Amino acid sequence: MSKDMSYLGVMGRKNEIMKSAVGLDYSIYESGSISFDYERMMKDVGYSLQEIQDIQKQTGVGNTPLLELKNLTALARKIAPNGKGARIFIKDESCNPSGSFKDRRASISVHNAKKYGYKGVMAATSGNYGSAVASQAAMLNLKCIIVQECYDSKKIGQPEILEKQRKCESLGAEVVQLTVGPELFYTYLKILEETGYFNSSLYSTLGIAGVETLGYEVAIQSRELIGKDPDAVIITHAGGGNVSGTARGLLKAGALNTKVIGASVDLSGLHMASDHDFNRKSFTTGHTGFGVPFATWPDRSDVPRSAARPLRYLDQYYTITQGEVFYMTEALAQLEGMERGPAGNTSLTAAFALSMEMDRDQVIIVQETEYTGAGKHPLSQLSFAKQMGVEVKFGNPDAEIPGENIILPEHPSMIRAKKINIEKLRKSYIKNCIANYKVDFVIKEDIEFLIEDTKSNRDFVLNTLKEQNITIR
């Protein structure tokens, strides 16, 4: 009998399709009403940190340089209060084969697909991950399909996403492009089922374990270059995998006192699934449209239980504006001689702002850069914004309204990072757990899990559950 290929039919087989395409039965980790054994799931990756490093070395991934941005640090000190201006370093992940840290995520997934006899790999992404999977697949002689959400209903595509399509295709991948909407996940599942390819999910245990080497290298290189662990590592936050993997690597290196700080571009007011809003943003990743939803409900991803769980690791979370990131992109190029793409420059912008608040003897590490290309360049993005009716001007970034204008700072002292209330995000996450699992009571295992998954404490979790009228058994 033929399978039901309707939307409801395919979505109803989601867990079955995913189990076959990832080779992991997520149900064995479930317990309680909400909880699951996250650490056991991560341990079952089956590769030690050393083995992951060896796998990545085979395809030229990792061991990227840690560079001090002396001129940007000097600029921060020039405009900061006396005694302020922490040293800024950057981990140059553009040195990876496809030009971003995403090679670390892709390398382990594609290696696993090859090891277990899959003929090809797939990923659903409009970002750098597609080219990373394509690159690793080409090295291991596997076929590759990338599914992108890149157009509005008028078939107008964002320059940055189209640049990533070009790169994926240049590395041998087949790219399936879609308009914005719910068809992305449906189409992805359907192709996964039809091809039998491996799901190189951004949110799998393999993908997060691959990023652990990045956090580990940051700590080791910091000790070698500076003689101590960094005071803060700033990570561009979108779906949470970058934060989770880097933080886990820092912990494995013993950098227990390093603050893990997330940074996203503030796109408040723009809905990521809106046909109208889709092309009125100039950042396709690393923004609040992903950063907040994935923090407050990580299991919205394409696997039953996401291994990317940012609230487990974040100490602080900041936002900056689109105009500030464009300004810092230009500053990095002209002051440091490094032309890089917007994803890493998001956390660099936050680092510059925070440097002016931190002491001079402190160290901030921006843990990624990414390659840049024609579609990623600020000139392409700003030209596209103007075409879509977005005003571009110099002024005070505080007046920027996403979707209406982009304001480039008139002076670097205007660059400021705005702190997000993490406790509010933690409460939203617990509320989402209750709503999505339709629970009216929890047990001890659920409480312990929520404490760990929100990096909070027992009183916070119990009080939040009480506010939601949840019974504890």
Sign of the CA dihedral 185, 186, 187, 190? positive
Specify if 253 maps to a domain: yes
Residue whose entry in the numeric block shows the structure tokens 């810092």: 328
Rounded average pLDDT over 159-181: 93
pLDDT of residue 154: 92
Rounded average pLDDT over 327-337: 98
The CA distance from 329 to 286, in Å, is: 15
214 and 173 fall within a common domain? no
Q: Which of 249, 254, 219, 244 is nearest to 313 (CA)?
A: 244
| Element spanning 70, H or E | helix 70-79
Rounded average pLDDT over 54-69: 98
pLDDT averaged over every residue in the chain: 95
pLDDT in tens, 104-154: 999 999 999 999 999 999 999 988 999 999 999 999 999 999 999 989 999
Rounded average pLDDT over 84-91: 98
223 and 181 fall within a common domain? no
Q: Which domain holds residue 461?
A: 425-472
Determine how many CB atoms are found less than 10 A away from the CB of residue 347: 31
Residue 399's pLDDT band (boundaries 50, 70, 90)?
very high
Q: Which long-range contacts (CB under 8 A, 24 or more apart) does 411-415 make?
A: 412/75, 412/79, 412/327, 412/331, 412/352, 413/79, 413/356, 414/324, 415/320, 415/324, 415/327, 415/328, 415/349, 415/352, 415/353
218 and 132 fall within a common domain? no
Rounded average pLDDT over 436-449: 95
**DSSP-assigned beta bridge partners for residue 202:** none
pLDDT of residue 12: 84
Cα distances (Å, whole numbers) of residue 369 to 44, 159, 225, 317, 410:
30, 19, 19, 19, 25
12 and 126 fall within a common domain? yes
Residues whose CB is less than 8 angstroms from the CB of residue 201 and which lie 6 or more positions away in sequence, other chains included: 22, 109, 123, 124, 207, 301, 302, 303
Please give the residue that has the higher pLDDT: either 15 or 263.
263
- Evaluate if residue 199 carries a pLDDT over 70: yes
Helix (H, G, I), strand (E, B) or coil at 143: strand
pLDDT of residue 439: 93
Maximal CA-CA distance, the chain: 75
Specify if 243 maps to a domain: yes
440 and 394 fall within a common domain? no
Residue finishing a domain among 170, 205, 240: 205
431 and 319 fall within a common domain? no
- Evaluate if residue 356 carries a pLDDT over 80: yes
- Evaluate if residue 472 carries a pLDDT over 80: yes
218 and 299 fall within a common domain? yes
- Evaluate if residue 321 carries a pLDDT over 60: yes
170 and 43 fall within a common domain? yes
Helix (H, G, I), strand (E, B) or coil at 359: strand
pLDDT in tens, 230-277: 999 999 999 999 999 999 999 999 999 999 999 999 999 998 888 999
143 and 241 fall within a common domain? no
Q: How many domains does the chain have?
A: 3
Residues whose CB is less than 8 angstroms from the CB of residue 29 and which lie 6 or more positions away in sequence, other chains included: 36, 37, 38, 40, 41, 305
437 and 355 fall within a common domain? no
Specify if 2 maps to a domain: no
pLDDT of residue 203: 93
pLDDT of residue 1: 55
94 and 16 fall within a common domain? no
* From 55-59, 85-89, 184-188, the region with the lowest mean pLDDT: 184-188
**DSSP-assigned beta bridge partners for residue 418:** 319
Residue finishing a domain among 156, 189, 205: 205
Cα distances (Å, whole numbers) of residue 372 to 104, 108, 175, 330, 331:
18, 24, 20, 12, 15
71 and 173 fall within a common domain? no
pLDDT of residue 36: 96
pLDDT of residue 409: 98
Residue 53's pLDDT band (boundaries 50, 70, 90)?
very high
